[in-house]
Amino acid sequence: MNSSTFSSEIGVAALWRRWLVLLLATLVMSSAAVLAAVVMLDPYSTGRLTPIQRVDIAIPTRTFVVAGLARDPRFNAAVLGNSHGMSIEPEILDAVTGVRFVQLWVYGQLPPDTMFLLDAFDRRHRAQKPTLVVVLDLIWCDAERGRSLHTDLPRWLFEGSDLDYLRKLPSPLAIVAAMRRVLIFAGLAAPAGRADGFVPDYWTPSNRAVFRREMEGIERPTDDPLMGEPYPYMGDLAGHLAKLDPDSRVVLVLAPAYIDALPVPGTVAEKKVDACKDRARAIARSRPNTRFVDLQVDGPLARDSANFIDARHVDGKGVEVLNAAVVHALRELMGEPGGDTSAPPR
């Protein structure tokens, strides 16, 4: 190999090195620019590390949508829980109470995340003494914590250091939401959901007949080894409610269920459920401005499968009864504090 060939090879290698350095630098700067843009655009409307404080629903993913909804200053009341409460319509409650409700339900959510959202909403709206509707189900009656599968709430959107937030924020979902938010700002796209968090057609399964057959074929429970005293989730709930301003109104509501999902009368399962309901009533009596509404009872509503999507999600008249019962409880709270109420399905 002569010197000219050797020098040429050195020159080519140097060019490749410079090209690689330039490429890596470009990638790093581009990634940093994208991250900076995503942080500035605040895809989940958290209000963190951005001058943009308005709230937009840029994606339909409930676990991320609630981060913005929970801090939205346009609302001073909230519906909390999982999908058993998704049919409670804010506009109906607004018309009765004169306050503005936001829907913070999350599909598959367990009590710890519901209570976390309750605290998050109260922190943001404490000066307004917020009104809260907490939708319960029988998971709140579990004898131990953490027995059921659930949808995890991304708590890093609400709490933790800014460094942790920056570390977890980059994702394809965040980029898509940021791009959608740009289009919303420009008036070129509509929000991905209603501002009050209500989703009218969240669950409209096409195979309703299959759901109905499955619902009508359930064997009524006689025992449930998961349920039983001391009902730790209920104890936790009492602690969270005790931290609220005494003037905050609270409605605890146990949503309706189809008859085949209700325990057989006189069985161990019924005794466990009744004891759990008694615990909820005691919580309601323990603080002012609180009501417990028990809709999970036998009656005409529970015995008609047309009132349900599945055994534990209301439809049709079931939706009307659920909303009417919450309205009734709120009306009572606006007139006199404390106690519990009975609003059986019609």
Q: Kindly report, residue by residue over 60-111, the tens digit of the pLDDT.
A: 999 999 999 999 999 999 999 999 999 999 999 999 999 999 999 999 999 9
Alpha helices in 149-207 (DSSP H): 162-168, 172-185
Q: Give the integer Cα–Cα distance in Å for 85 and 325.
A: 12
pLDDT score recorded for residue 236: 98
Structure tokens at 332: 């009572």
Indicate the residue type of 86: M
117: pLDDT strictly greater than 80: yes
Contact 180, 59 (CB under 8 A): yes
Among the listed ranges 108-122, 147-161, 274-288, which one has the minimum average pLDDT value? 147-161
Nearest to 150 by CA among 62, 237, 224: 62
Could you give all domains of the chain from N- to C-terminal order, each with its CATH number?
A: 57-159+195-333 (3.40.50.1110)
pLDDT score recorded for residue 2: 60
Contact 83, 113 (CB under 8 A): no
Nearest to 118 by CA among 231, 238, 292: 238
340: pLDDT strictly greater than 60: no
What does the angle CA 112 – CA 62 – CA 41 come to, to the nearest 5 degrees?
A: 115
Q: Kindly report, residue by residue over 189-200, the tens digit of the pLDDT.
A: 999 999 999 998
Contact 314, 255 (CB under 8 A): yes
Q: Give the integer Cα–Cα distance in Å for 93 and 327.
A: 6
Per-residue b/e over 104-129, b at no fewer than 16 CB within 10 Å?
Answer: bbbeebbbbbbbbbbebbbebbeebb
